[in-house]
Structures are given as structure tokens and as C-alpha cells.
Structure 1
Amino acid sequence: MFRALHKLIGLAAALLIVALTLSGTALSVFPALERAQTPAAVETSVAELAGRVAARYPGVEQIRRAPSGRITAFYFEDGRPGSVVIDPATGTGVADYAPSATERWLTNLHRSLFLGDVGRWAAATGAAALLLLSLSGLQLTARRTGGWRHLFGRLRGPFSGRLHVEVARLTVAGLVLSSVTALFMTASTFDLIPSDAAAPAFPREVSGQTGAAPGRMALLQDTPVSALRELAFPYPGDATDVFTLKTDAGTGYLDQGSGALLVWAGNGPWQRLTETIYRLHTGQGAWPLGLLLGLMALGAPVMAGTGALLWLQGRRGRPRIRGNVAAGQADTVVLVGSEGGTTWGFAATLHAALTAQGHKVHTTAMARFAPARYGRAERIVVLTASYGDGAAPASATGFLDRLAALPRAPEARLAVLGFGDRQFPDFCGYARQVAEAAAARGWAPLIPYDTVDRQSPQDFARWGRALGTALGTALGLELELNHQPARQRSHALTLVSRRDYGAEVQAPTTILRFAVPKAGPWARLTGRALPRFAAGDLLGVLPEGSEVARFYSLASARRDGFLEICVRKCPGGLCSGQLHALQPGDRIEGFIRRNPEFRPARGGRPVILIGAGTGIGPLAGFARANSARRPMHLYFGARDPESDLLYGPEMHDWQAEGRLASVTTAFSRVAARAHVQDALRRDAVRIARLVGEGAQVLVCGGRGMADGVREALAEILAPAGLTPAMLKAEGRYAEDVY
């Protein structure tokens, strides 16, 4: 988990982090330069300093002290503004003051990338990425060195890897401090955290007199210059104006006639915290720390470079399979399409078995398909999973485009094996696309297209025997593929309640609610806790006596505090039978599989929820989570309202609360017999209007129901020139069908 997170964030945010850290390093030099050019401080009061400056510059408007100790006076002389750096010992200017254009340019780059508020958020994203990289890198380093006690132990391995880790160990503390303070400052800028930095109210009553000398004002005499931040003089000729004093302790107004303190407001704890965070991040007032953090920030570009090098090395070396011969020397090329990595395990088993038979095998990702390199290949074997609804998995990106661009099909014969789960509507959809595209190009098959259901070792072994027969090895040996799938990390889930339905209509169904396993911060940080989940994600259940998981759509999200599924008992069903036998307090083994393709899209557009039977599960979860009260319209089909109206009371409550805009039901075992697709046809006008307003359609339930719904929607949308397929292409139609 940490390795994947570290790599993904590093690759995605590398350039942004490099820009932020390099500009931050450059900015860290300015506080030190400013401190070196500042006249030496003297023990004096603000009153004495103001008197000296006012005597030298009668038109003084403001005296400002920077965190570095530099004192600057801003004044008018002969109608022209001026500003000078002041020697506090004499009150005279030692150099004209002009803000550094270079520093201003670097500051704008560092804070906002010259993009205003959008750029500030982008910079905050970079800081968050840097923080995550630092923390995940620490975990990976501890794992590599043998534990946290050996975090600074001796490193082994290639130089690029050792350099990457060594720089990380030296700079991670500074990177964490810089990223955390940057995130705090962004939150403060956008008022996302409390603030007590408001200035005191301007005094309503003043003496109306003028002429008090700053050097004689008691508060200024009691305030040392080292505590000064700013002293603003009243506007000449305006008897209602006042002196404004800002110090480390707070802000106050002084009468310009009497010198008396009129109003004072001290700095609150949040103001002091904000100023401390600012000092830690910028080095203003702490230039040695600023330089140190600047040097540490240079570690980020170094690690970006070495990290990219390590990634490229890993790509070149993947997969790590023993005896993986060069592509040009192989008689068999195995191409792998995998999203989560499990298909690589099957590929390794096949590779080992073919190598044992005397074949020279080259195994690589489908994304690296290059027939011109396979000069000696007699056969090409494709093992591929599918991502989502028939999309290419990560390691197969671009394969079909490369195949379509070939002037002719490869001479080596082809075998395609798809991996998937039959409970999903487009079973092995991408593998089927590959087989169909190959056939269309005239690519000669070695054996017919085949599939493996739910990582079945038996299916894989059966296919292996067919492949061995086609190979007809000279050794006369059978090709035995004895694959042992890696078992998914599971968690013990305790049943807390169950609600039973459907017995009267011979369709026993239950809503099972499990407690979320408790886990400490460390378990969550290391990925050992049950991951976050949302309604529509899948709960994988490992039934006793089987290594193959069954999946059930979740009707709840992590924030609900429980996992909830709807299960119908299937005749002879191993998993459904065991689940129906559970009583509160019993446990099962389960894990989470994300299903991001099936959930309401972001935004406030309408959502049409269509389901039947246990398909109500994720739809109920979507309604439960609809705290924003976006318009959701539920169409639900069941057998009898007295027997299997799952979530009946909740539907009523959710509609009353505005979580559901409407609920339409259809029952197939009553006098007015109807299915959910019939309800859609009755509401054709409203359905067409909602779709015209940009509605998203989510369908969950049995395959037969989904086919009927698709036909009904096709009829309803035809007058508008739309089809479910068109909505699907726009991301507005999705199915979770079993």
C-alpha cells in the first residue's frame, strides 16, 4: 500500500513539488541577507526611536520593524514619498529602502504559481503531496532497514536507491515541518481555521487636540524597540486621527493630543500560533532555521530525480519472473493485462510451466506489445483482466491501439485468456475485445478464446491442458498449471443485526448489518485496518470450504459506522446459505473491493435509482448518504409489499427528509402485477424530462431485470434521440448486475 501510494503521488506531483521546494530554498536566503544588512540593534524605546525619526523626517507616516530587526521609515518630503532603512541608534537613514523584485517574484511563484487563489490551492496540494510522500517514505525506509529502531542503519543495494533513502533520512524532518506549516498557512489564508486577529475598534471619542510628541507618550516609552512591529502616525491636519501602535503583544490607539492610550487589544492564542507557524515556515525572524529548512528542501528535487530513476528501473525490470528471456530470443511471448496484480501471478505460473517444458518464454505487460521484437516467437499468449465495465487494465493501456496500427497481423499464433467474475454484466469484457479485435485483423488463433471465473485454479488448469495439447511438445509431457492464488487480506466481521424478508413468497432474503472492526491509528496508517468504503463498493466474503470470494454490494458507507448487505438465499448456494445461517454475534471473513464506477456522480443533478430485489442495497446506501438532498428518484421492484419490501420504513423516512425526491414501487405477486420496467414506462414523461435535465441512471439487480430496464429506457429516450449506450458513454448510465 505505502509503496504504491508513494510512487503514485511522487509521479503525479513531482514537478509541482520541485517548483515549490526550489523557490522555497531561494526564498530562505533572503531573511539571512536582510539580517546581515540590518544595522545593529540598540537598547532603546519606541518613544526615543520615534522622536529621532520624526526630528530627521518631519513628514514621517510610519515606522515599521521587520522580524529581522530592520527598521524602515516611510515619509513624505516636498510632496514625494520616500522610504529609508533606519539606524535605531541615531534615527537617520542608512540606505534607501526598495522591496526586492526578485524576492517578490519568487514569493508569488512559491505561494500561488502566479495563478491567484487557484494557484494557492495548487501549492497547498503540492504541500499535501510532499507531506504524504514524506510520511510514506518514512514507513518504506523503516521497512527497508528492518524497523524503526534501525531507521538510520546501514543501507544496501544500488546507488540510486541508497541515495534516494539517504537524502530522505537527512531531510524528512524539514520537509514535514515545511509542508505542515504551509498547509496551516493556506488554511489561515482562506479562513478555514479559527482566528482572533481582528484589530480593535477605532475609538469613537478623541481629545480633538494635536501636537503631542511621540517621545513623551508613556506607552511608547514603556515599549522597547525589540517588541515593535509598526507605529503609524496620524494624518497631518486631521484632529480625529490617532497614533496606531502594533507590537508583539497586541494593537492599540493613542490620542495625538494627550498621548493617552484610547483602545488596546492583545493578540490571542490563535494569532500567536499563526505568527509562530509563519516564522517557522519563512525563517523571518529566525534566519538560521530558514537556511536549514532551505537546505533540507533541496532534498525534494534530488529525491524526485532518484525516484524517477528507480521507477524507470522498476518498469524496465517488470515483471520479476525467473528465466524471463529476451523478447527476441523467445519462442513464446506471454502478455499480461492486470489492474491489481493478480493476473501476474497466473502469468508467473504459466511462465514456469512452459520453461520447465523447454520453451523459451518472455513475459511482459500488454502495454509493451511490440511484435517487431518477437523475431523467433511461434506463439503469443495474452492473459488479461478487465477494469470496470470492460476497460483496459493498467498494464494493458494502448494494446488495442498498437494492434490496430499494425500493417498486418503477427505470424505467431494467438491464445487469449480472460480473467473476471461472472456476477458482473460485462464478464471479461476487455479480454473479449482483444480476441475480437485479433480475429478482425486475421490473427490466427492457437486455441479458442477462454475465460477464468473468479481466479479459479481449476479453470486455469483446464485451459492449460488445452494449451498443452495445442503445443504438442516434443517431450510428450502434459502442461500442468497448478496455480495457488494469493489470498486477499480479510477481516473478521461480526454480525450485529439481521432483518428477514421474503419467506412467504419463497424468496428468503435478509439484510445483514456487520460492525466495522475496530482499529487503532497504527493499523489504519499501515493499511491493516478495514479500508474506507462507500455505498456501491463490494464486500468480498470468503465462505468456509472455498478460496474464492463472493461479492455483495454495500448498502452503507464507512461514516455510517457499519457494513450492510442484502442477501437472497440461493438454492444450493454455498455463501448465501452460510450468510443466512448467521446470527448476531457470529463472524465471517470479508474484505472491501472498491467499485468507483457505480455511484452517484458529483454535483447536484438528478439521479434515477432503479433496482429490484437485493439490488436495492447500494441504492438504499445512496439515499442514506444524500444529506445534500439532491433530487434522487427511486424505482424499486419486489414480489409482494407485505413480504419483501426491503427498506420499506426507511424509504418513507428518506422521502420525508428529502433524501429521496420520489419512490415508485412495482410488485410482481399482487393483483396489479408489474415489474420495475413497467413503472418506468408509466413514468415515461418524467423519466425523459429528468434525463433531459442531465440525470444519471444507476441500475442494480438481476441480469434479466437490467435487460428489461434497458429496453424500457431505450423506448422512453428514443424520441429524444438518446439511448442507454449514449448515456453510458457520457458517464450517466451504470449497472451493477449479477
Structure 2
Amino acid sequence: MIRSLHRWFGLIAAVLLIAVALSGMALSVFPAAEALTRPTAQAISVAELAARVQAAEPSVEQIRRAPSGRITAYYFDGDQPASAVIDPATGKPAGSADTSALQRWLTIFHRSLLLDDTGRIITAGGAVVMLLLSMSGLFLLARRAGGWRLLLKPMRGTGDGRLHAVVSRLALPGLFLSSLTALWMTATTFGFLPEGAGAPAFPAEVSGRTGVTLAAIPTLLETPVDELRSLSFPAATDATDVFTLKTAQGEGYLDQGNGTLLAWNDAGWIDRVSHLMMMLHTGQGLAWLGLLLGLSALSVPVLGWTGVSVCLAGRRDGKTASVAAGDADTIVLVASEGGTTRGFAATLQSALSAQGLRVHVGPMAHFNSARWPKARRVILLAATYGDGAAPASANGFLEEFARCPAKPGLPLAVLGFGDRSFPEFCGFAAGIARAAEEKGWPLLTPFDTVDRQSPQDFARWGRNLAQALDLDFELNHQRAAPKTWELSLISRRDYGADVQATTAILRFALPKTSLWQRLTGQGLPRFEAGDLIGVVPQGSDLPRFYSLASGTTDGFLEICVRKQAGGLCSGQLTALEPGDTMTAFVRTNPAFRPSLGGKPVILIGAGTGIGPLAGFARANHSGGPMHLYFGTRHPASDALYAEELSGWKDDGRLASVSTAYSRTATPAYVQDILRKDAARLGRLIAAGGQVLVCGGREMAAGVAAALADILAPQGVTLATLKAEGRYAEDVY
């Protein structure tokens, strides 16, 4: 429900919020400019300031001090009213007090969209929506991260979804504060809040004299300028008039004949809070905060665009509507890395719905049996990322599930999706099944698995499920063909031909897309180094996946391919010449990413596993500490990316490069140079470093063994690093 409210509120109010946010961002610049140009403040009393201003401008009627500290005097220039910014050191005018036409227009537009009170109501509605979006977004971020404890951990994911989450996390505090303060100010404008203390009743009796010197008024002498809001001077020809003083502490009247304090009202809590809210919202007096709020407002167009993109992508992925969780008798929750498991969930939903069941489908992070009052069964479809890890969408789920008590009468079924060639086949799903058994959850069906998205395995499990439910259905899952693109090869670099190990770095041009395709999200999906490109070779219907060595912002798509003996896809790819094309699709790989935040990143790879690691280094424009350990055969034949690695080390994108060659006079493998550099690796990991490993499975096993030995003296295990999101593999 929170996700639906967040989506629809955002879509409906997107244009309004963007307009208000951008005008607010523009207005945030003015307080900062004012803070830089205003005269230097003086640690003086109001009496001293007023005396200086009156000496310079004898006709002064009022002095005001803005929250920013700027002092403005209002007086007469001849017979014409005038105003000026005052230098408190001299009391003389130091510049015009007029607000620029641009600032006035932006202020009116920001407050009311140029529509007076109607516009104020509309913008107040926008503030309500922004407040709801901020709160619901915070809950969704916590859910995505795997719990409130992990909210500040590096975000997993890719593309527009990850960008939306990262920008949200940075901008939410500012957006929440802006919307909350805007609502307070609107409520004050329309009289929805109790009135403040205000001015006291005008005194019934005054001295009837005039001409007191400002230095003889005790209240003005005791009030520092920093507390002044305004001082209004009495008319010199009217003996019944008085000085009116407003400060942060309250408001009162002073006799112009003897300086006596005639009446005073202390400021109430409404006055103090309203003043604070105005400062927080406008940045006046807190220019740094105003700029931060302006930057937060600048995020609104980004959040609007990425939110629409994610919504459209969800529709393209074929997500089907399901019954609300509170009304469903069957709960199907999915943990998927690349999205294919959601397709199996859609097939299951259709089959069960056709049997009259009320099925709710959602992400596994939504597991909460207390919110399913009508549920009679729960089915968990859990994909496994890599060698036994949870998908990004279910990060932290297993720990939360292990703490969740079993619900009597609510049987559970767990179906794992994975690749049997990995030692930890369906490791994440198996962990859920073990936790369910330990907690005493009743089983709907025994734990089962699907190997490499096999429709036959899924159908077999479906028959067992139908029997357990005493229903008659078949799960006939048809793989949805992914959207593919024709990619044209623009260059290739060849290695290893003289040692019969042909390897090529292939660079493809990005397909040209129209503006409409980009606006509607129909172009090639955004990708980053470490994502996967799926290629279906001629003569086969099964895709082969290659790790990307580039991101969309690089302007090209690059992979590193070694020709395998009898390899159908690798043979076709390494035979491509510039101008030839291949048909491919992009699949995200969000768990294999360098983390942000300036912590060390340790890249370990061998052979063509250098591809995504090179992409990570290429994208490291901030110069974060990134260390590469790379193993290959021989520097004369297999020095993949040698020139780039040297250049990236020189410009700071790589802090160090350590290479192992296995076919030289002194052969070494990548795990050997890791052990040789054990002391430094230990320090890097102790400093919060992250380890990313890419290459063959045997190499990865050797690297894991070496790292386990290196970290053992510190009491750190690879399992701990994996649980913290600091160790990830992309192996084949």
C-alpha cells in the first residue's frame, strides 16, 4: 500500500512539485547572496544603532533587522518615502533595500503560482503531497535496504531505480523539512494556528513630553542588535505617540518623553516557532541551510523523472495487478535479481487465480504475517544471486525472517531458483527453508528448486503444489522474450592468438534512439560496468551472459571475450569485424558494484574477468581508493587493458595495480600476489574495504581461500564480509 500511495501521489503531483521546487531552489540563492554582501554586524545595542541611523537620516521612521542580519531603515528623502540597507558601523545607507523584480516574481510564484489565495491552497496541497512522499519514501528506502539498521549502507541496484533511491536518501531530510515548514507557514497565513502574543494594548497614559535621547532609554540600551526585529519611531509632533519595539523576546511600547517602558508582551511559543519555521524554510539567517534546501529541491525533477521511468519499466516487465494483501488467501512473495523470477510468479498467480484463489504477489521484503488476516498459505519464490547470496531486493530478509515467529495454521512453501553448477545452488532459498523449519512453520510443500529457469522443474513443482491444494492446474511457464537490440561493432583489440587463447575486447556503438523513445523509456536500458549483456547465439535459444566493461555514460558498450574450444557464442563473437552486428539485451547485476563513500575497493580478477573491473576503474572519476589485483598468462600476449591501467593509475583512478603472470619464468597466480600483499590487504579491509572478484570459478575459489587465511588473524571471515555487502563475486 505504501508503495502504491508513493507512486500515485508522485505521478499526479509531479508537475506541481517540480515547479514549486525549482522556484524554491532559485530563491535559496538570494539569502546566500545577501549574507555575502550585507555590511558587517556590530556588537552594539539598539540604542547605539538607532542613534547612528537617526544622525545620518533624521527623518527615519523605522529600523528593521531581517533574520539574515541585514538592517534596513525607512525614512523620507525630501517628501518622498525611501529605504536603504544600513551599515550598522556608521548608520549610513550602504545600498538599496529594494527587492529585485526577479526575486519578487519568484517569491509570488513559489507561494501562490501567481493565483493569490487559490494558488496558496494549491501549493499547500503540493506541500502535503511532498510530506507524504518523503515519509513513504523513507519507509520504502528502509525496506529496500533490508531494515532501518541498514538504511545508511551503500545502495544496491542499478539504473534509474538505484539513482532514484540514492538521490532520495540524500534529499529526503531537506524535502521533509521544506514541506513541513511550508505547511506551518500556510497554516499561519490562513489563521489555522493560535495567534501569537502580539502587541500589548496601547498605553492609556503617556508622559505627554517628547525629545528623549535614545541613549537615555534603558530598554534600548539593554537590548542587543542581534535580538532586534524592528524599532518604530514616534511622530515628533505627536506627544501621545510612542516608540514601538519588537525583539526576539517580545513587543512593547516606550515613552518618547522619558524612555519608560509603558507596556510589554513576551513572545509566545507560537511566535518563536513561526519565526524559526520562516528561517528554516527561507534560509534567511541560515544561508547555508537555504542552499542545502535548494539542492534538495533540485532533486525533485530527478526524482520525478526516475520515478516515472521505474513505473514504466515495471509495466513493461509485465507486473500484473494482484489482490491487496489484507484480502488475499494466498500470498506469493518474490526475491529476484534480474526480474525473471517475477515472471514465474506471474504464471503461478494466473494459474491460482483461475482456480478461484485470491492471490497477492509482492516482493519478499514485504513479509509480514500480521498484515494477512485472510491468508491461508504463503509461497516464497527465492532466486539466489551468485554463489548462495540473496538478491539485492531481499537484502537482510533471511535475518529478519529468522526472528519472525511462526504463525499457526499458515503453511509455507519455499521454491528456490538458481544454477546447479554453483556449489551453493539455491543457497539463499535453502537458508529460508532451514529457518522456516527451525521456527516451526508448517510446510505446504517440501522445499524444492528450479535449475537455470527450467520450465520443466517449475511444472514439476506445480504439480506437487496442485496436489497439496487439492486443485487441478498446470504451471506452463513460457519465458518472456527480452527486448533485444542490434549492436554494431566499432572496434576490437585482439590478444592471445599466438598462444591459441584468442581473446578480444569488443566495443559496440549504442543504438540510436529517438527523443520519444528516451522520454518513454523505450531506449536501450541504462547500464553500468558490472551489469550483464545477454547474447543468444545462432543455433541456440539459450542466452550467454558477459559482464560489461562500460556504462551508459561512457557512450559505448564493451565486453571482453575469450574464444572457448567448441564455444558457440564466444566463437561467433570473436569472429565479428567492425561494422558487424550482434543481437543482445541488458540485464542488471546490482549486487556486483563498487560501494560509494570513499572506502577502499579491492578488485580481483583473472583473464576476461578484468572486463567489469576495468569498467569500475574507468568510472572512478572521484579518485576513490581502488586497488587492482589481476592475473593473466603472459605480458606479451595477454596484457588486457595494459595501456588503460597505466593511465588510470597515473590519473588516480587506480591507487595500485598488482599483476600475476602464470606463463613466465616465475609463474604466479592472482592468489599468490594476494598472499604476498597480505599485510596491506588486511589494513584495507580493516578500514572498511570492499572486495569484488571476477573470473573463473577455480580462480575465485583460490582467491577465497587466500583471503580467508589473510583475514583469519583479524577474526574476520568472508561470510561476515558477504553479510555486510563487502564481498561479491561474478564468476563463471
Bucket of the pairwise TM-score, normalised by the shorter protein: 0.5 to 0.7
- 1:686 corresponding residue in structure 2: 680
Counterpart secondary structure, 1:540: strand
The C-alpha deviation readout for 1:373-399, integer Å capped at 9, x for no partner, is 68894x643223357873366589868
The C-alpha deviation readout for 1:496-544, integer Å capped at 9, x for no partner, is 1122333444443221111122334443332222343332232233444
The C-alpha deviation readout for 1:292-333, integer Å capped at 9, x for no partner, is xxxxxxxxxxxxxxxxxxxxxx9xxx9625xx6998895x65
Q: 1:418 & 1:364 partners in 2: Cα distance? A: 16
- 1:234 corresponding residue in structure 2: none
Cα–Cα, structure 1 residues 689 and 353, in superposed 2: closer, same or farther, change >3 Å? closer
Q: 2:97 & 2:558 partners in 1: Cα distance? A: 62
Q: Aligned-pair distance for 1:625?
A: 3.0
Contact 1:455 1:548 in 2 (8 A): no
Q: 1:457 & 1:510 partners in 2: Cα distance? A: 34
Unpaired runs of at least 5, structure 2: 28-61, 63-74, 85-89, 105-210, 221-229, 236-240, 249-270
- 2:297 corresponding residue in structure 1: 126
- 1:51 corresponding residue in structure 2: 78
Q: Aligned-pair distance for 1:565?
A: 0.8
Counterpart secondary structure, 2:78: helix
- 2:56 corresponding residue in structure 1: none
- 2:462 corresponding residue in structure 1: 464
Counterpart secondary structure, 2:77: helix
Counterpart secondary structure, 1:440: helix
Q: 2:561 & 2:638 partners in 1: Cα distance? A: 12
- 2:224 corresponding residue in structure 1: none
Task: State yes or no: 1:508 paired with 2:502.
Answer: yes
Q: 2:309 & 2:608 partners in 1: Cα distance? A: 44
Counterpart secondary structure, 2:292: helix
Given candidates 432, 436, 439, the residue that maps to 2:437 is 439
The C-alpha deviation readout for 1:626-677, integer Å capped at 9, x for no partner, is 3444443321112333332322333334334444333322233344332211
Given candidates 617, 624, 627, the residue that maps to 1:623 is 617
The C-alpha deviation readout for 1:16-41, integer Å capped at 9, x for no partner, is 979x88x98xx9xxxxxxxxxx9xxx
Contact 1:336 1:396 in 2 (8 A): no
Counterpart secondary structure, 2:415: strand
- 2:369 corresponding residue in structure 1: 370
Q: 2:325 & 2:83 partners in 1: Cα distance? A: 83
- 1:347 corresponding residue in structure 2: 345
Cα–Cα, structure 1 residues 114 and 343, in superposed 2: closer, same or farther, change >3 Å? farther
Q: Aligned-pair distance for 1:615?
A: 0.7
Amino acid of the structure 2 residue aligned with 1:708: G
Counterpart secondary structure, 1:382: strand
The C-alpha deviation readout for 1:345-374, integer Å capped at 9, x for no partner, is 323322433455x57453443525538968
Q: 1:455 & 1:447 partners in 2: Cα distance? A: 19
- 1:733 corresponding residue in structure 2: 727
Q: CA RMSD in A?
A: 5.1
Q: 1:55 & 1:382 partners in 2: Cα distance? A: 74
- 1:186 corresponding residue in structure 2: none
Q: 1:558 & 1:98 partners in 2: Cα distance? A: 58
Contact 2:488 2:508 in 1 (8 A): yes
Q: 1:117 & 1:449 partners in 2: Cα distance? A: 56
- 1:540 corresponding residue in structure 2: 534
Cα–Cα, structure 1 residues 536 and 359, in superposed 2: closer, same or farther, change >3 Å? same
Q: 2:245 & 2:643 partners in 1: Cα distance? A: 73
- 1:320 corresponding residue in structure 2: 321
The correspondence of residues 564-713 of structure 1 with structure 2, limited to 5 A, is 564-713=558-707
Amino acid of the structure 2 residue aligned with 1:390: A
Q: 1:506 & 1:451 partners in 2: Cα distance? A: 39
Of 107-116 and 678-687, deviating more is: 107-116
Counterpart secondary structure, 2:654: coil
Cα–Cα, structure 1 residues 123 and 5, in superposed 2: closer, same or farther, change >3 Å? farther
Amino acid of the structure 2 residue aligned with 1:109: L
Of 76-85 and 706-715, deviating more is: 76-85
Amino acid of the structure 2 residue aligned with 1:493: L
Cα–Cα, structure 1 residues 606 and 343, in superposed 2: closer, same or farther, change >3 Å? closer
Unpaired runs of at least 5, structure 1: 28-37, 39-47, 71-75, 88-92, 144-313
Q: Aligned-pair distance for 1:708?
A: 1.0
- 1:553 corresponding residue in structure 2: 547
Counterpart secondary structure, 1:712: helix
Contact 1:697 1:734 in 2 (8 A): yes
Q: Aligned-pair distance for 1:118?
A: 4.3
Of 704-713 and 414-423, deviating more is: 414-423
- 2:389 corresponding residue in structure 1: 390
- 1:107 corresponding residue in structure 2: 278
Cα–Cα, structure 1 residues 319 and 615, in superposed 2: closer, same or farther, change >3 Å? same
Cα–Cα, structure 1 residues 570 and 423, in superposed 2: closer, same or farther, change >3 Å? farther
Q: 2:651 & 2:350 partners in 1: Cα distance? A: 60
Counterpart secondary structure, 2:692: strand
The correspondence of residues 163-242 of structure 1 with structure 2, limited to 5 A, is none
- 1:405 corresponding residue in structure 2: 404
The C-alpha deviation readout for 1:446-502, integer Å capped at 9, x for no partner, is 55433335544344234334545x54958xx6x432222333333321111122333
The correspondence of residues 414-433 of structure 1 with structure 2, limited to 5 A, is 414-420=412-418, 428-433=426-431
Q: 2:721 & 2:579 partners in 1: Cα distance? A: 44
Q: Aligned-pair distance for 1:715?
A: 1.3
Amino acid of the structure 2 residue aligned with 1:129: V
Contact 2:326 2:371 in 1 (8 A): no
Counterpart secondary structure, 1:534: coil
Amino acid of the structure 2 residue aligned with 1:117: W
Cα–Cα, structure 1 residues 448 and 527, in superposed 2: closer, same or farther, change >3 Å? same
Structure scoring higher RCO (CA < 8 A, sep ≥ 6) equals: 2
Q: Aligned-pair distance for 1:54?
A: 11
Q: Percent identity?
A: 51
Amino acid of the structure 2 residue aligned with 1:509: T
Amino acid of the structure 2 residue aligned with 1:537: D
Contact 2:338 2:588 in 1 (8 A): no
Q: 1:614 & 1:9 partners in 2: Cα distance? A: 46
Q: 1:404 & 1:577 partners in 2: Cα distance? A: 50
Of 122-131 and 417-426, deviating more is: 417-426
TM-score by length of 2: 0.58
Cα–Cα, structure 1 residues 348 and 114, in superposed 2: closer, same or farther, change >3 Å? farther
- 2:708 corresponding residue in structure 1: 714
Given candidates 481, 485, 494, the residue that maps to 1:491 is 485
Contact 2:503 2:561 in 1 (8 A): yes
Cα–Cα, structure 1 residues 712 and 132, in superposed 2: closer, same or farther, change >3 Å? closer
Amino acid of the structure 2 residue aligned with 1:527: G
The correspondence of residues 134-149 of structure 1 with structure 2, limited to 5 A, is none
